Amino acid sequence: MDLGQFQTFRVAACDLNGQMRGKVVPGSYAEKLESGAVRMPLSVLNLDLWGEDIEDSPLVFETGDADGVLRPTGRAPMPVPWLDAQSALVPMSMYTDEGAAFEGDPRHALARVLTRFKARGWTPIAATEMEFTLLDDSGAHPQAPVNPRSGRPLDGSAILSMSQMDAFAPFFDDLYAGAFAMGIPAETAISEAGVGQFEVTMRHGPAMEMADNAWAFKALVRGLARKHAMAATFMAKPYPGDAGNGMHVHVSVVDQDGNNVFDNGGPDGTETMRQAVAGCLAAMPGSSLIFAPHTNSYDRFVAGAHAPTAAAWGYENRTVAVRIPGGPNAARRVEHRTAGGDINPYLLLSAVLGSVMIGIDDQMVPPAPVVGNAYDANLPGLATNLSDAIDAFETDPFMARIFHPQLIDNLIMTKRQELKKMMDVPADQRWKAMLERV
């Protein structure tokens, strides 16, 4: 894409909450991006959910709020289908003036984890299942969207309903066209269990590419929903008592010869796969803040409601947090089912792949796989609220092995400020802060 053809285009990096932070720049900047022509305060990637500075942040108050340098990630410029005017988006990462990666950038966090796999000659492959809810946000509370065919609000779940998919066909036609134009490999779309809830799966690919795709896809869904006179949200629990939005991640690892290191030619998988599972289970309590980063996230963890509540694993078992799906042996993989749709995809894949590598490095042994209903098992689980999740993340030894200290500190400060501010918002009004930000 020739950026010079546009009067203006957009450059943006990912903050700790997964929001795009950046600038609109003139087309003449197209030749200047690699040289660091775009600068922003380092603290911009450490803003809270509302886009406000973190109180007493060292980035602001000890360094004079110094600038960093934005440089392209290497992802090709993408069209912006949700805008009326033609433009483009160039994904960026943050660096210091000295050229070092800014360790508070979530994309760099994932890059750090991937270097550990590269040292072994391995490449992590990932795929995502992304759930979101279409709704009407024009009133005091979120409401079911209007069925474009009948003109009446949806009145119940419609699991795998083709009629419901047909009703929203104009939106999904634009969604697939937009994803194709942006280079996002969207595959199947289904109507899910919640009112107005849908799921789109992404074709598997290298982990960083998949995180980039998930980040861009969330912006695409939200933007196109507005063009179709609706709102779209990835909130973990848009409606009390209804199904929540998750983001399942499927992970496998291939060696330098292209072989899946989890495949032993049979359904059980390799010892390496079981070590990876053990790492995921051991790191899960400390990872709660990554998988459930907002107050609303914890409303999703209800026993029997399609969201895992315990650090358990099993084969072809959808009640566990870490599932080994069936299918061809060559595609043997780990499905991590814990995260809500409101996550930062770079931090999510960092936590999952970091714990996979810890399990392999430490040759960890998982407990016996759960057979039957994991909700009935008395097993360790995630934190049950945001405050406990923040405390666990701050002190967890697994998180210290996965994330740079600066990212840990920044995320802790951000989440404590958000929690304090959210407690001053009436519970029935908190959705407004999260609806299109997460």
pLDDT averaged per 10 residues in sequence order, the chain, 438 residues: 87 98 94 91 96 88 83 96 94 96 98 98 98 96 93 87 93 98 97 94 97 98 97 96 94 97 96 98 96 96 71 91 94 96 98 98 96 77 92 98 97 98 94 95
Are 197 and 336 part of one and the same domain? Answer: yes
Alpha-carbon radius of gyration of the chain:
21
d(CA 323, CA 273): 12
Indicate the residue among 102, 127, 158 that finishes a domain: 102
Are 325 and 279 part of one and the same domain? Answer: yes
Residue 43 forms part of a structural domain: yes
d(CA 114, CA 127): 16
Nearest Cα to Cα of residue 394 among 416, 379, 364, 423: 416
Question: Which pLDDT score is estimated for 306?
Answer: 63
Instruction: Identify the helix (H) or strand (E) that includes residue 163.
Output: helix 162-167
Tokens for 146? 């209007």
Parallel/antiparallel/unpaired status of strands 88-95 and 8-14? parallel
Task: Please name every residue paired with 340 in a beta bridge, in sequence order, or none if there are none.
Answer: 246
Query: What burial class does residue 170 get, using C-beta atoms within 10 Å of its C-beta: 0-12 exposed, 13-18 middle, 19+ buried?
Result: exposed
SS3 330: helix
Are 78 and 117 part of one and the same domain? Answer: no
Which residue range is the domain that position 78 belongs to?
A: 3-102
Residue 313: CATH number of its domain: 3.30.590.10
Nearest Cα to Cα of residue 350 among 92, 185, 103: 103
Question: Which pLDDT score is estimated for 180?
Answer: 98
d(CA 370, CA 411): 33
d(CA 358, CA 393): 16
Question: Which pLDDT score is estimated for 157?
Answer: 83
Residue 108 forms part of a structural domain: no
The alpha carbon of 428 is separated from its chain's Cα centroid by a whole number of angstroms, namely 25
Are 87 and 125 part of one and the same domain? Answer: no
The alpha carbon of 329 is separated from its chain's Cα centroid by a whole number of angstroms, namely 27
Are 71 and 203 part of one and the same domain? Answer: no
Predicted TM-score (pTM) of the model is: 0.96
Question: Which pLDDT score is estimated for 185?
Answer: 97
Question: Which pLDDT score is estimated for 304?
Answer: 58
Q: For 216-250, how does the pLDDT look when each residue is reduced to its tens digit (9 = 90+)?
A: 999 999 999 999 999 999 999 999 989 899 999 99
Question: Which pLDDT score is estimated for 189?
Answer: 96
Task: Please name every residue paired with 23 in a beta bridge, in sequence order, or none if there are none.
Answer: 11
Tokens for 400? 């210290």
Residue 417 forms part of a structural domain: yes
Question: Which pLDDT score is estimated for 203?
Answer: 96
Tokens for 57? 């942040």
Are 255 and 131 part of one and the same domain? Answer: yes
Q: For 64-95, how does the pLDDT look when each residue is reduced to its tens digit (9 = 90+)?
A: 789 999 999 999 999 999 999 899 999 999 99
List all residues 6 or more positions away from 128 whose beta carbon is below 8 Å from its beta carbon: 201, 202, 210, 213, 214, 247, 248, 249, 250, 345
Are 62 and 200 part of one and the same domain? Answer: no
Indicate the residue among 83, 102, 121 that finishes a domain: 102
Nearest Cα to Cα of residue 137 among 412, 431, 438: 431
Question: Which pLDDT score is estimated for 418?
Answer: 98
Residue 356 forms part of a structural domain: yes
d(CA 224, CA 177): 11
Residue 94: CATH number of its domain: 3.10.20.70
Are 124 and 202 part of one and the same domain? Answer: yes
Question: Which pLDDT score is estimated for 380?
Answer: 72
Indicate the residue among 59, 79, 102 that finishes a domain: 102
User: Crossing angle of helices 207-227/169-182, nearest 10°?
Assistant: 140
d(CA 175, CA 173): 5
Residue 107 forms part of a structural domain: no
The alpha carbon of 165 is separated from its chain's Cα centroid by a whole number of angstroms, namely 24
Are 327 and 180 part of one and the same domain? Answer: yes
Residue 386 forms part of a structural domain: yes
d(CA 345, CA 214): 6
Longest CA–CA separation in the chain, Å: 61
Question: Which pLDDT score is estimated for 303?
Answer: 65
List all residues 6 or more positions away from 234 whose beta carbon is below 8 Å from its beta carbon: 130, 131, 132, 133, 218, 221, 245, 247, 340, 341, 342, 438
Task: Please name every residue paired with 394 in a beta bridge, in sequence order, or none if there are none.
Answer: none
Are 201 and 97 part of one and the same domain? Answer: no
d(CA 7, CA 27): 5
Residue 388 forms part of a structural domain: yes
Domain count, the chain: 2
Tokens for 172? 């999904």
Question: Which pLDDT score is estimated for 409?
Answer: 96
Are 87 and 147 part of one and the same domain? Answer: no
Residue 60 forms part of a structural domain: yes
Length, in residues, of the chain: 438
Are 50 and 134 part of one and the same domain? Answer: no
